[in-house]
Amino acid sequence: MTKGNLSRRIVWREWLGHGIYPVLFCLSLLVSLGAYLVLDSLQSAVDEYVITNQKAMVGGDVVIQSNQPFSDDVRQILSKVPRQDQVNEHQFNGMAYAHDASLLLRIKAIDLTYPLYGELKLSESNTWDHQLAPGQVLVERQVLTALNLSIGDRLTVGEAEFTVADEIIEEPDRPLTAFGFGARLIMSNDDLLKTGLMGSRSRIQYRAELRLDDEQAQATLNALKQATKGTKTRVTGDEDANTSISQVSGNFLQFLKLLVVAVIVLSGVGLMSVVKAFAGRQQHTNAIRRALGEPISQLKNSYYGLLLGMAVLATALAWGLSWLVIAFGESSFAAIIPAQVELTVAWTSVVKVTLIALGLTFLMTHSTIQSLNHIKPVAVLHDHQGSQGSWRTSKGWVLLATLALWALMTLEMGDAWMGTQVTVGLLVIALLFTAFSGLLLKGLKSLAERGHIKHWLSKLAVMSIFRKGNHTMLFFTTLSMAIMVMGSIVALNHTIDQQLLSTYPENSPNMFLLDVQSDQHEALDDMAGKALTYYPVIRARIESVRGLDTQTLRDELGNYDNLERVFNLSYANEVLPTEFLERGDALFDVKTGDSVPVSMLSSFAEFLQVELGDEVVFNVQGITLKAHVSSIRKRHQRGPSPFFYFVFQPEVMASAPQIQFATGQVEAHRIPDIQTAIAKKFPGITTLNGASIAKQLKSYVDQLTQLIQIFTGLSVLAGLMIFISSLVSTSQDRLKDSAYFRLMGMLTKDLYLLNIMEFIILGLSAFVAGGSLAWLTTYVITTEWFNLPFSFPWQTTLLASAALLGTLVVISLVYSRLVIQSNVMNLVRKMVG
């Protein structure tokens, strides 16, 4: 029985004997580690999927893609690759109809060699056998349901009728985003011309996928890159292919992960308070142990053993938690994780989390354990209790903690420089808060000293906050930091929500028609039952601005926009209803020499740094057009209504080769019928249903929002944990205070009031500090990074402050009751006796 390590037994029994310590410790770690583990597992599941399915997802060893037909040089190179080792694809949007329903499609026309890697999974014949008879198409489920079809039925695409041969279950190289325009229909390249959709089409994506051995692949890649230099054609090998899965879910997961890292740091602070409270409690026992001759290293080791053991335990619990989350919450991740990706808790993640838990515990408890060095064995002879060790940190510790944070950030961001930036940012924030709480303490002190506070209880409360110096700092800093993290998340979320709402304001167009011809206007207006707005689009490149060529401009202005790209020019007689003239007396002035007037949009004019009268030279499909800026326009609001950087007079542009699109606002329920009618009469026109796109987008964003909310909830929990831990860690001091006041004859009612006032003063100032910093951060992020208007979350702020106030009152009441009723009288008796 007396075998084994009694030192270890002492600390474990004491620790477990006071349920509050292990519970707080575990919860603090559990929440943050569990969240981390879930996200890390998701990340590695996605990475794993991308790695093992890389070739299938990319489609080939080399892929070339362009919005223009391939050049002769490119075709020359492609012709050297055997037919069976290449797939040519054409992708574009188009309308399909059957019976009285119509649907927007994303059509993919392929060679029958498709797919070179991976499998096209179908519903009836399982795996596609590379056969597609003339007039046969494959469609995804959505097409069948929307058009009310079954396999074998017929549907019309453009000018041709097709038979549905099978249903697509999984496409190997389809971008794995949950959100895309149009339902998939696959047809053979041989049937492409029948649809009549080629030719006038403006947005066809040309793509070729090649199967090559390594040597050939490198040579072909280089040759293609050489042949496409300076054009918008993208050539990728399977290595550097950026599949959209790793982009969308990768970015979002990383964003969530950074949130969770912030929560981990917060929970570290919680740990620190818990352990400090525990060590404070153990002072007497530690003094006895030292007096009996226990070496300091042995004493410290018993603590390290306990805490690291608890860290491992918490990790095990976190593992269980994350397993549950992944097993039962899989559907919540649908927005960011495609269904094909199989989810499990990854072992590498478990190892990572264990290391983080151990490192965090070691770092956060190190200074407390080191303070055991100062235990004086002689203290046992004198019954007075030493004050609890203050919140001391050594330079070495700060360095180590910074290094650990940097390592974690670098690991997460996958980039040392980014890691450095984030770490520095966090340190600045921590310093800010420390400075702020220092100021607060000073302010309180001078308030109390100058006698500005008349009410005696308030004065006492302020004095006692001030007297608790170090603890107030810790309490305040952690609480306000927790509030800041939560506040930032809430404010950011709110702004994004607002943005989304304002993207589709009530009176904005909800029907978009692409590829309209001038002679179709009247018929379309009839079908819509109202006049639609038509926008002509002429494609052109910029040759020079203010006499500078695009190359020079790029060096001078940076990469806000690619000046070498194709721009959409338009013409009109008057300012669009969604815009107004910012500068210039009229949209256009007069033609001077060979220079025609052009009206510019203010944001682009700012970027190009042009003034009224400055010269811009265009190349309109081979013809040079000299123009001078005659006016600068600005949009009333952002939204889906079209806008053009450059607008000319109709007489300048009307005869140039052009495409047109139209927008209109009609009752949402009429859109499907109008869509079908247009699809039947003008198969070349693509109709987008703005209302349903907005709805789709909204539900996608809602899923993301929900995820963000879950993780915000986690940080709220972490904040609460810190709040409770710091209460526990200061309870000894508070107890003593209350005993003194009691001894001096203070009424129980006033004792309660005093405690509550203290909490409220502290809590509210922490709320104001954390809240304003969160507000500031979000403001900077939304306006500077995202270029979005910032909107202040009044409702949430009010609700949150009410909730905080309520929580503070409840906790302080419960807490005071516990402290006052159970222990104060004992202490009073001790003081007197």
Partner 1 sequence: MTLLRTQNLNKSFPIGDDQINVLKGININIEAGEFVAIMGKSGSGKSTLLSLLAGLDQATSGQVILADEDLGQLSEEQLAIKRQSDIGFVFQSFHLIPTLNVEENIAFPLNIARQHNPEKVDALIEAVELAHRKKSFPNQLSGGEKQRTAIARALVTDPKILFADEPTGNLDETNAKQVIELLLNLQKASGTALIIVTHDPALAALADRTITIKDGQIS
Q: What is the dihedral of CA 402, 407, 411, 415, to 10 degrees?
A: 80
Closer by beta carbon to partner 1, 3 or else 669: 3
Does residue 2 belong to the site contacting partner 1 (CB under 8 A)?
yes
- What x/- string results for residues 140 through 159 when contact with partner 1 is judged by CB under 8 A? --------------------
Decide if residue 589 touches partner 1 (CB under 8 A).
no
Reported as half-sphere exposure (CB side, CA atoms, 13 A), residue 267 has a value of 31
For residue 814, the SS3 value is: helix
User: Which position among 198, 296, 566, 746 is part of the footprint of partner 1 (CB under 8 A)?
Assistant: 296
Q: Is 75 helix (H, G, I), strand (E, B) or coil?
A: helix
The contact pattern for partner 1, residues 65-104, with x = CB under 8 A and - = no contact, is ----------------------------------------
Nearer to partner 1 by C-beta: 298 or 573? 298
Cβ of residue 6: shortest distance to partner 1, in angstroms? 4
* Residues from 5 through 44 that contact partner 1 (CB under 8 A): 5-7, 9-10, 13-14, 17
Which residue in 339, 378, 435, 798 binds partner 1 (CB under 8 A)?
378
Q: How far apart are CA 793 and CA 772, in angstroms?
A: 12
Cα separation, 266 vs 624, whole angstroms? 61
* Alpha-carbon dihedral angle through residues 38, 41, 42, 47, given to the nearest 10 degrees: 160
| Spatial separation of the C-alpha atoms in residues 714 and 19, rounded to whole Å | 22
For partner 1, the closer of residues 301 and 502 by Cβ is: 301
Number of residues that bind partner 1 (CB under 8 A): 31
User: Helix, strand, or coil here: 682?
Assistant: coil
Which residue bears the tokens 């499990």? 344
Question: Cβ closer to partner 1: 14 or 543?
Answer: 14
> Is residue 745 within the footprint of partner 1 (CB under 8 A)?
no
Closer residue to partner 1 (CB): 297 or 655 = 297
292 binds partner 1 (CB under 8 A): yes
CB of 29 to partner 1, least distance (A): 24
- Selected from 288, 697, 761, 828, the binder of partner 1 by CB under 8 A is 288
Out of 258, 291, 308, 788, the residue judged to bind partner 1 by CB under 8 A: 291
**Minimum gap (Å) between residue 732 Cβ and partner 1:** 16
**Token pair belonging to 258:** 């950074």
CB of 23 to partner 1, least distance (A): 18
Q: Are 422 and 258 in contact (CB under 8 A)?
A: yes
* Binding of residue 827 to partner 1 (CB under 8 A): no
Binding segment for partner 1 among 282-290, 447-455, 685-693, 800-808 (CB under 8 A)?
282-290
Distance CA 415, CA 428 (A): 20
The nearer residue to partner 1, 96 or 372, going by C-beta atoms, is 372
Closest by CA to 771, choosing from 750, 749, 747, 793, is 793
Cis peptide before 115 (omega within 30 of 0): yes
**Which residues, numbered 641-700, are part of the site for partner 1 (CB under 8 A)?**
none
**Contact status, residue 715 vs residue 550, Cβ threshold 8 Å:** no
Cα angle 423, 424, 426 (rounded to 5 degrees) comes to 65
CB of 771 to partner 1, least distance (A): 43
Q: Is 79 exposed, middle or buried (0-12, 13-18, 19+ CB in 10 A)?
A: exposed
Q: Could you say which of 51, 133, 381, 832 contacts partner 1 (CB under 8 A)?
A: 381
Which of 10, 248 has the CB closer to partner 1?
10
Question: Which residue type does 448 have?
Answer: A
CA torsion through residues 554, 559, 560, 566, sign: positive
Question: Going by C-beta distance under 8 Å and a sequence separation of 6 or more, which residues neighbour residue 298?
Answer: 7
Encoded one letter per residue, x for contact with partner 1 by CB under 8 A and - for no contact, window 500-529 reads: ------------------------------
Beta bridge partners of 568: 539
Instruction: Pick the closer one to partner 1 by CB: 284 or 736.
Output: 284
Q: Which range, of 222-230, 286-294, 572-580, 819-827, touches partner 1 by CB under 8 A?
A: 286-294
> Tell me, what amino acid is at 788?
L
Q: Does 279 bind partner 1 (CB under 8 A)?
A: no
Q: Which stretch binds partner 1 (CB under 8 A): 280-288, 500-508, 686-694, 744-752?
A: 280-288
Bridge pairing between strands 234-237 and 160-170: unpaired
In angstroms and rounded to an integer, the radius of gyration of the C-alpha atoms of the chain is 34
Distance separating alpha carbons of residues 191 and 233, to the nearest angstrom: 25
Nearer to partner 1, 7 or 478 (CB): 7
Q: Where does this chain bind partner 1 (CB under 8 A)?
A: 1-3, 5-7, 9-10, 13-14, 17, 284-285, 288-298, 376-378, 380-383
